Amino acid sequence: MSDKQTSKITGETSKFQNRTSIFVKRKRSFTLAFLGVAALFVISAVVTNYDVINGFTSIPKAAIWMVKHFIPDAKAWSRVPYIFSKLIETVLVSVAVTMCASICAFFFSLLGTKTTRSSPWIARTVRIIAAFFRNVPDVVWAMLLLFSFGQNILTGFFALFFSTFGMLSRTFIETIDEVSASCVEALYATGATSIQTVFHGVIPSSMPEIVSWVLYMIETNIRSSTLIGILTATGIGYLFDLYYKRMDYSSASIVVIAIVITVIVIETLSNKIRKVIM
Amino acid sequence: MPILLEFKNVSKIYNNVTKALTDVSFSVEEGEFVAIIGPSGSGKSTILRCINRLVDVTQGSVFFDGHDINQADKKEIRQVRKKVGMIFQHYNLVDRLSVIENVLHGRLGYKSAISGVVGHYTEEEKERAFQILAMLGLTEEAYKRCDELSGGQKQRVGIARSLMQEPRLLLCDEPIASLDPSSAKIIMDYLRDINETMGITCVANLHQVDVAMRYAKRIIGITAGQIVFDGPSDKLTRTKIYKIYESNEGELITDVG
């Protein structure tokens, strides 16, 4: 017995000698990666005629220009109530879109999870549909939908709806499978039907994760809806576009500040909510 | 005693490649306590899951109370499942719900789709749930959330849930593998009690050979999906244990000390 143990230990020490070579290898690969990145930078700078020195020296100039033009003046401050009302509109639309999309996505994703024991064909179709809606960016959705709805709040609504629906369907499938697989098995073993299993097992066990994802999507959608608003001429995005094109930079900067503050507030709020429900 | 459960030449192949069970045949009489032992991956869990159709067999048939389970449609599977309780190594409770809610889940098999979905339980069912909790020493914990419980308590909730089903057969998939020795003894004692006083047949997968020999009157040893031993626990000799685990003298933890 003791012979066996010592032989094992000597085996271990001989392994130690290989360790130095592992460190050498790691260093070598880091150096190679660094050289690779540097080479990529040089090549792309040459191809695009990018002047490195000019690029860096123009930073202070840009900063001075921004300070000069983007400091809100009195006229801009007087626009705050109007900007605020548009901001509220954008936030409410984002929340509404996210809620609608997440309810649809939840029931849709149930068909794609292993928990409902739906046929592999249905599950695969669900995943493909979700991937399609997710992989088309919301801006592209907005541009496509502009043809059918025109510059309208509905266009923005549907654009956000589709991308949110795709994103959440996919995440819900994974979350549900991860969180509730074990209790789902037990509920099926008691003779529960799949609908009963969803209501008594899947929903209670995955709800906190799902709410957390929905909150995250609300944050993301407030940000994206600004961008989509520029395209569809609605909400805070439109206002930013308007001021910007009028070269009323100080008003535009108030819009930006308002968006930043809103996103921070929403983030803090949802973090608080997360802490409570988890 | 009448035969409650019968395996006839059952084979199971996962995804057309992995052989889990090969030509397994045995039968269990009503009221028996059978332990299934064998190395990890030898097919113990698959055997249990074939009984309540969480897994479909590839070949052969499983009879529960005289009915061929493989021929059962969805409705009949539900009928079988509600008469077969199951407890798990990782308890498989809905952790975020209270103990009493988890116990009442045992009644879902008896509910119509809608009254099951809204969770409408009768007063008798609730009373029964509290009786069972009292029997298992969980009265204090009834309204606690399951994630506040210790492992041993969780497993007792699992037992309570399966007892709510009024089962004729209790399947135990590694019931004590995640428990400390003292909670493990409590759980095994409850299982023996349930078997002896309530007359519920028990089939338990176990990793601990000594536990299996102490609690079960009959042991089935399985290696690589085949039954290599089936007999009363006092006939399980050391050489037979080595055969089940495909190992030699001195290589098992039971050999230490």
Query: A177 and A139 in one domain?
Result: yes
Q: Output the pLDDT for position B253.
A: 81
- Per the listing, tokens 């990666």 go with A33
Strand stretches in chain A, DSSP E: none
- Order across the sheet with B59-64: list the strands: B18-29, B3-14, B59-64, B67-68
**Which one is predicted more confidently, B132 or A149?**
B132
Tell me if A67 is assigned to some domain: no
Greater pLDDT, A197 or A277: A197
Is residue A62 in some structural domain? Answer: no
Same domain, A11 and A125: no
User: A232, A155 in Cβ contact below 8 A?
Assistant: yes
CB contact under 8 A, B52 and A189: yes
Q: Report DSSP state, residue B102.
A: H
Write the CATH number for A107.
1.10.3720.10
CB of B111 less than 8 A from some CB of A: yes
Q: Is the pLDDT of residue A2 over 50?
A: no
Q: Is residue B110 less than 8 Å (CB to CB) from chain A?
A: yes
Residues A45 and A92 in one domain: no
The mean predicted confidence, pLDDT, of chain B is 92
Same domain, yes or no, for A6 and A141? no
A206 part of a folded domain: yes
Specify whether A44 is located in the same domain as A91.
no
- Do both A96 and A40 map to the same domain? no
Q: Which domain holds residue A30?
A: 2-50
Chain B positions in Cβ-Cβ contact with residue A186 (cut-off 8 Å): 86, 88, 92-93, 105, 158, 161
| Residue A75: both structure tokens together | 């006229």
pLDDT given for residue A57 in this prediction: 86
Do A105 and A234 lie in one domain? The reply is yes
Q: What total number of domains does chain A contain?
A: 2
**Could you tell me if residue A221 is inside a domain?**
yes
pLDDT of A7 reads 47
Q: Do the domain assignments include residue A218?
A: yes
Clarify whether residues A114 and A42 are in a common domain: no
Residue-wise pLDDT tens digits, B99-120: 999 999 999 999 988 888 888 8
Do residues A222 and A133 both lie within one domain?
A: yes
- In the DSSP assignment, the letter for residue B255 is G
Residue A255 falls within a domain, yes or no? yes
| CATH top class, domain B1-83+168-184+197-257 | alpha beta
Give per-residue pLDDT as tens, A86-142: 999 899 999 999 999 999 999 999 999 988 877 889 999 999 999 999 999 888 999
In angstroms, what separates the C-alpha of A270 from chain B's closest C-alpha?
A: 21
Mark whether A136 and A21 lie in a shared domain.
no
pLDDT at residue A16, rounded to an integer: 57
In a domain, A59, yes or no: no
For the cut 80, the answer to whether the pLDDT of residue A12 exceeds it is: no
pLDDT at B257: 61
pLDDT range class, residue A56, cuts 50, 70, 90 = confident
Continuous segment of H or E residues that includes residue B241? helix B238-244
What pLDDT shows up at residue A191? 92
Percent of chain A surpassing pLDDT 90 = 45
Verify that A155 and A224 share a domain, yes or no: yes
Interface membership of B54 toward A (CB under 8 Å): yes
Three-class SS state of B29: strand
pLDDT at A4 over 50: no
Query: B198 — phi, psi (to 5°)?
Result: -95, -10
Flag whether residue B42 sits within 8 Å of chain A, measured between CB atoms. no
Question: Across the interface, which of B82, B84, B88 has its CB nearest the CB of A186?
Answer: B88
Cα–Cα distance, A23 to B21 (Å, whole number): 47
Q: Are A256 and A240 in contact (CB under 8 A)?
A: yes
The predicted structure's pLDDT at residue A76: 81
- The structure's pTM equals 0.81
Q: How much is the pLDDT for B117?
A: 84
**A185 to B54: CB separation less than 8 angstroms, yes or no:** yes
- Residues A22, A105: one domain? no
Instruction: Note whether B119 contacts A189, CB cutoff 8 Å.
Output: no
Q: A80, A254 in Cβ contact below 8 A?
A: yes
CA distance A21 to B91: 46
Nearest CB to A190 within list B82, B96, B117: B82
Provide mean pLDDT across the span A215-242.
Answer: 89
Write down the domain spans for chain B: 1-83+168-184+197-257, 91-166
Is the per-residue pLDDT at A19 higher than 70?
no
Question: Using a CB-CB distance cutoff of 8 angstroms, which residues of chain B are in contact with residue A201?
Answer: 94, 105
How confident is the model over A246-260, as pLDDT tens digits?
Answer: 988 888 888 988 988
Residue B92: list chain A partners with CB under 8 A.
182-183, 185-186
Q: Is residue A65 in some structural domain?
A: no
Which of A75-84, A161-170, A179-188 tops mean pLDDT?
A161-170
Work out the pLDDT band at A18, boundaries 50, 70, 90. Answer: low
